[in-house]
Amino acid sequence: MATTRRFVPLLGCGFFVFCLWGLFTLSRSWTQMKVSQAVGLGELVATPSPTPSGHWNISEAPKQPFAPRPQFIAGIPRPDGHEYTKTLVIPRTTYEDTSWTDFEIPGWETAVYVVDDPSAALHPPKNKGHEVMVYLSYIIEHYDELPEIVAFMHSHQFGWHNDDLLDGNAATILQRLRPERVIREGYMNLRCGWGPGCPDWLHPGTLEEDETKQEEILLARSWGEIFPDEPIPDVLAQPCCAQFAVSRERIQAIPRARFVFYRDWVLRTQLSDYISGRIWEYLWHVIFTGQNVVCPKEHVCFCDGYGICFGGEDEYNAYRNMDSEREGYEDELKRWRSRAAVIEAARRRGTLGEKSHLTVPEPGRDVELEELISHQGELKEELLLNATIRGQDANARALEAGFW
């Protein structure tokens, strides 16, 4: 019995030491676990292990991005004569008229979403974010059955944001749109003119508000929510105004779940309807091209995109400069007529004499200016007609677009 009593304290001491060792081991494992915890979805990254040489390998496992940008590749147009399947997606309110789509754009199917009528055949889950909600809803709902080309446009047929070279007419844009460029590029802004939007438009990091682009100062926060893995860009630029065409391949290069995520952001954001829509106006090209700035040369866009080829950038710029020359003649004619009216008024009052300080307009200059304005108009129409004819030649298009 005495021997047994002597062993009891020894067993107690051993048990106490064993417990301390166990607690120390668990504490050390938990510390390593916390250090190894990945930021994001909660996965555990393996703890670095000793190398064969006995030294610790302190390199960390690479972080997997939440939503990596897809690797976009150029599309291959179909052989000449192929009839592309095409759908025009339009958001509209109950009071807006989109009947022009019924007879102005043969060859195009239409998907018109009524944003303020939940009973309509096509309607978004919520009228928020302007056209963004409809564009994303169409992609989500038709992801597995998309046509070869999808165009996203506003409901009105005529608008300042439609290029004047295409009569400011949405129907003309779709009639002249060359599917080959959309397929090849994957994404094409339907506006070729750079102003506004290019070449250096939004600066997400700015802190000073610009009334002409109120969304700019809110872009940094929104960018982090929409693209959590991407650094905030210094600049975002593309021609305005949220009207573009995309190929089926380019859309499907992005997982459908990503578009659901984008739409959820629009649904959840506390930003106003106006601002959230404006923010997305300069995000579409990022999503579909992976680039922060997409500003193709205007003459290339018109030539390859719409078959209007002036022969090169210099020729295109010369055509554009004709507007400035004509406007100069028109302003001078207005001033001539204004002075002539003052002179005539003074003559009728009898106050027009040798000591009058009124400037007498040059006789006959008005007729000369009228002729110059008329000539400029005729010459411009001729240049545009020749550019349209030149654009029918595949070799001329390839040369001007820089493919040769």
How far apart CA 86 and CA 98 sit, in angstroms, is 17
Q: Taking residues 34-60, what's their average pLDDT?
A: 39
Q: How confident is the model at residue 32 (pLDDT cuts 50, 70, 90)?
A: very low
Do 255 and 164 touch, CB atoms closer than 8 A? no
Q: How confident is the model at residue 226 (pLDDT cuts 50, 70, 90)?
A: very high
When comparing pLDDT for 212 and 57, which is higher?
A: 212
Q: Which amino acid is at 343?
A: I
Predicted pLDDT at 56: 41
Predicted pLDDT at 327: 86
pTM greater than the 0.85 cutoff? no
β-bridge partners, 111: 89
- pLDDT, one tens digit per residue, over 349-386 is 777 665 567 777 888 888 988 999 998 889 999 999 99
What is the CA 334 to chain-centroid distance, rounded?
A: 40
Q: Which of 51-60, 179-188, 248-257 has the lowest mean pLDDT?
A: 51-60
| Percent of the chain residues topping a pLDDT of 70 | 82
Cα radius of gyration (the chain): 33
Tell me the average pLDDT of the chain: 85
3-state secondary structure the chain: CHHHHHHHHHHHHHHHHHHHHHHHHHHHHHHHHHHHECCCCCCECCCCCECCCCCECCCCCCCCCCCCCCCCCCCCCCCCCCCCCEEEEEEECCCCCCCHHHHCCCCCEEEEEECCCCCCCCCCCCCCCCHHHHHHHHHHHHHHHCCCEEEECCCCCECCCCCHHHCCEHHHHHHHCCHHHHHHHCEEECCCCCCCCCCCCECCCCCCCCHHHCCHHHHHHHHHHHCCCCCCCCCEECCCCCCEEEEHHHHHCCCHHHHHHHHHHHHHCCCCHHHHHHHHHCCHHHHHHCCCECCCCHHHHHHHHHCCCCCCHHHHHHHHHHHHHHHHHHHHHHHHHHHHHHHHHHHHHCCCCCCCCCCCCCCCHHHHHHHHHHHHHHHHHHHHHHHHHHCCCHHHHHHHHCCC
Predicted pLDDT at 50: 43
**For residue 208, is pLDDT > 90?**
no
- pLDDT, one tens digit per residue, over 169-197 is 999 999 999 999 999 999 999 999 999 99
